[in-house]
Amino acid sequence: MVLAPDIPDIRDIPNRGRPAGSERRTVLRALRLVLVYSLLIGGGLIFVFPFYWLITTSLKSVELIQVDPPQWFPNPIAFSNYADLMAAAPVLSWVRNTVVVTFLGTIFYTASSVLTAYGFARHPFPGSRVLFFLVLATMMMPGHITIIPRFVIFRELGWLDTLLPLIVPTLFGSAFYIFLLRQFFMTIPRDLDEAAELDGANTLQILWDVLLPLARPAIVTVALFAFIEQWGDFFEPFIYLSSPENLTLQVGLRWFSTQYGTQFHLMMAGSVLAMAPIVIVFFFAQKQFIQGITLTGLKG
Amino acid sequence: MPYVVPWCIGFLAFTLGPYLFSLYLSFSEWGLMGPIEFVGTKNYEELFDDPLFIKSLANTTYYTVVHVPGLMVLAFAAALLLNEQIMFRPLFRTIFYLPSITPGVASVILWVWMLHPTGIVNTFLGFLGVPEDSQPNWFASTDWAMPGLILMSFWGIGSMMVIYLAGLQGVPQHLYEAASIDGAGWWQRLRHVTIPMMTPTIFFTMIVGVIGSFQSFASALIATEGGPANATLFVLLYLYYQAFSFYHMGYASAIAWLLFVIIMAFTLLQFALARRWVHYES
């Protein structure tokens, strides 16, 4: 850190011709690079290590997970933890429940948010500005207030311990996604809509044929966010679900940890299963993620 | 008009309706069965004398005061590093971002394992020369459980980091050039160009960070269930126990509304103070 103050950046120095000064600056720039890379590599190792420790623990047999000194690489590699986990808990039903909730939730959230955003962006009506302000306001309203009333509503409907309370609300859109999509629709020139309208397209056709192809980056972003949110959701399923076989993977993991709290080799195998889809989707969709981050990257 | 109808129905059924019902419940007594009995401000009066509620509020404040600024500083530092002209930038960006989108339950269970009294974090502390008998017991210790939760939360700097990264890329290059011509070094450019230009972004992350931090729930539930000796009992965890372990729905709703008022008060205070330090260009 001693190096940090007052190191000029060589790119910013207009005259690099003179040898004496530029040599000193080259050394300083090299030192600065060393510092940047040490911090990045050091920090990067700290951030990667938990993933490494998770996967390797999940592949060690139970008597090897807590040896001193620690076993840095699993030897022998034991896949049996995964089989033992399936035998100890209804993991396959958890996976099936989570896939259903994630798949339907992602589609419903995206579709309903697209339709609502389209309404706000292209079909203003008296009071629509106030209503849009309300959408923004719900983003700032803490969700914890609604926990008890929602629980009561779903109990009255007889939906507790089913997946319905996790799926049905996604049909009504989500404020953040509506906001994001509406902002994106606003950037698409209206001339395109009008041209299609002259050709006799109705409003749904305009949305489908004109706006959706142009709004693809925003829609993919929303779908990715919805996927991550649905897959990792804990609070609501935790409140509504109770029978072991009806849980989602995240709630199931928590249930498992209360039943078998000391069986870390099995819990790590479960955590790998719970994380894997997110990591896989992230690697396949990295470009869209970065795009999405720029999209959501707030302008004032 | 018809396109926004679904959202309106959802808003009435799952937000506005529940808000009003919850407000009514907070002035009532109800055990989830039988009639709802109106009791006026009784729940609120009892809350102010409830040592567990006070404790949960103190815990949540402790967590927020360390977690939010710590997260902001670390995320900002990571964003500054990733904003340099470096090789493998996408790789480093992935490494710092990924933990923030991994499902919370799995992450917490992983950290409970790493912060086990004989776990790998203490093994590393041993390598660094911390003798075994002075290594923290983390979630088994009243003093170390909260630092453990905070340490764990720093693994998730990624989402805040990408917001800073987007903000940094929006700082006009000509300001840096002008500062360099004036002879400003690295620190002076950070202090007089980067940070002032980033204040709107910093302000946004602070608001969102505080609101989220006051609603912390899952990490404490899974790692400690609020223990040991209520050392990590957060307000929302206390609300959960009151509602779903003791069926005190009215009392739990009063907790929810008091927390809401506290969050709003903090947010408004931050907006009032923002005039003094947030720099808007235009």
Structure tokens at B59: 């815990």
User: Residue B195 has what pLDDT?
Assistant: 93
Q: Determine the residue of chain B that is closest to A45 in CA distance.
A: B95
CB-based contact A8 B186, cutoff 8 Å: yes
Determine contact: B35 vs chain A, CB below 8 A: no
pLDDT at A7 over 70: no
- A179 min Cα distance to partner chain B (Å): 12
* Cβ contact A121:A182 at 8 Å: yes
CB-based contact A286 B94, cutoff 8 Å: yes
Q: Which 8-state DSSP code applies to residue A2?
A: T
Residues of B in contact with A254 (CB under 8 A): 105, 221-222
Could you give the angle at the alpha carbon of A40 between the alpha carbons of B168 and B105, nearest 5°?
A: 85
Alpha helices in A147-234 (DSSP H): 147-156, 164-167, 175-186, 190-198, 203-205, 212-214, 216-232
Using CB atoms, which residue from A6, A39, A254 is nearest to B105? Answer: A254
Reported as a pLDDT band with limits 50, 70 and 90, residue A232 is very high
Q: Determine the residue of chain A that is closest to B74 in CA distance.
A: A43
pLDDT in tens, B253-271: 999 999 999 999 999 999 9
Reported as a pLDDT band with limits 50, 70 and 90, residue A14 is low
User: Residue A20 has what pLDDT?
Assistant: 54
User: Which of A230, A213, A224 is CA-nearest to residue A288?
Assistant: A224
Sequence ranges of the domains in chain B: 42-277
**In this predicted model, which residue has the larger pLDDT, A298 or A224?**
A224
Residues of B in contact with A134 (CB under 8 A): 11
d(C-alpha B240, C-alpha B253), whole Å: 10
High-pLDDT (> 90) share of chain A, %? 58
pLDDT in tens, A90-133: 999 999 999 999 999 999 999 999 999 999 999 989 988 999 99
Residues of A in contact with B9 (CB under 8 A): 172
pLDDT at B281 over 80: no
Determine contact: B54 vs chain A, CB below 8 A: no
CB-based contact A153 B13, cutoff 8 Å: yes
What average pLDDT does range A241-255 have in this prediction?
95
Determine contact: A150 vs chain B, CB below 8 A: yes
Choosing among 3.30.310.80, 1.10.287.180, 3.40.640.10, 1.10.3720.10, the CATH entry for B42-277 is 1.10.3720.10
pLDDT in tens, B224-247: 999 899 999 999 999 999 999 999
**Total CB pairs under 8 A between chain A and B:** 242
CB-based contact B236 A267, cutoff 8 Å: no
pLDDT in tens, B144-173: 999 999 999 999 999 899 889 988 988 888
Q: In DSSP terms, which residues pair with B38 in a beta bridge? A: B28
**In this predicted model, which residue has the larger pLDDT, B28 or A217?**
B28
